[in-house]
Amino acid sequence: MTLLQLISLRKQYGPVAALDGIDLSVAAGSRTAIVGPSGCGKTTLLRLIAGFDQPDSGKIVFGEQVLADGSSQVPAHKRGIGIVAQDGCLFPHLTVAQNIGFGLEAEASVKHARVGELMDMVGLDRDMLPRKPDQLSGGQQQRVALARALARKPRLMLLDEPFSALDTGLRAATRKAVTEVLTAAGITTLLVTHDQAEALAFADQVAVMRAGKFAQVGSPRDVYSKPVDPVTAAFLGEAIVLPATVAEGRAESPLGALPVDDTDYRGKAEIMLRPEQISVTAGVGKGVSGTIAEINFCGPTSDARIALAGADAFIRLDIPSHEALAAGDTVTICVAGRAHVFR
Distance CA 17, CA 20 (A): 6
Q: pLDDT tens for residues 121-132?
A: 888 889 999 999
**Mean pLDDT of the chain, nearest integer:** 90
> If you average pLDDT over residues 10-27, what whole number do you get?
94
Confidence of residue 120 (pLDDT cuts 50, 70, 90): confident
Name the band, by pLDDT with cuts 50, 70 and 90, for residue 84.
Answer: confident
Percent of the chain scoring above 90 in pLDDT: 59
14: left (phi over 0), alpha (psi -120 to 50) or beta: left
Q: Domain check: are 289 and 211 in the same one?
A: no
Do 211 and 257 lie in one domain? The reply is no
Domain edge (last residue) among 198, 230, 262: 230
Average pLDDT over every residue of 280-297: 90
Q: Regarding predicted confidence, which is higher, 139 or 2?
A: 2
169, 202, 230: which is the final residue of a domain?
230
Q: If pLDDT is split at 50, 70 and 90, which confidence band does 185 have?
A: confident
Residue 141 — very low, low, confident or very high, per pLDDT cuts 50/70/90?
Answer: confident
User: What is the percentage of the chain residues whose pLDDT exceeds 70?
Assistant: 99
Question: Rounded to an integer, what distance in angstroms lies between the CA atom of residue 327 and that of residue 186?
Answer: 54
Of 179, 198, 230, the position where a domain reaches its end is 230
Number of domains comprising the chain: 2
Q: Domain residues for 160?
A: 2-230
CATH number of domain containing 289 = 2.40.50.140
**Which backbone phi and psi does 155 adopt, to 5 degrees?**
-85, -25
Assign 88 a pLDDT band (cuts: 50, 70, 90).
Answer: low
118 and 226 assigned to the same domain: yes
Region 168-196: mean pLDDT is 84
- The pLDDT of residue 47 is 93
Mind listing the pLDDT tens digit for each residue in 208-266?
999 999 999 999 999 999 999 999 999 999 999 999 999 999 999 999 999 999 999 99
88: left (phi over 0), alpha (psi -120 to 50) or beta: left
CATH code of the domain covering residue 206: 3.40.50.300
Based on the fold, state whether residues 206 and 242 are members of the same structural domain. Answer: no
Q: How confident is the model at residue 183 (pLDDT cuts 50, 70, 90)?
A: confident
Q: What per-residue confidence (pLDDT) applies to 145?
A: 85
- Residue 167 pLDDT > 80, yes or no? no
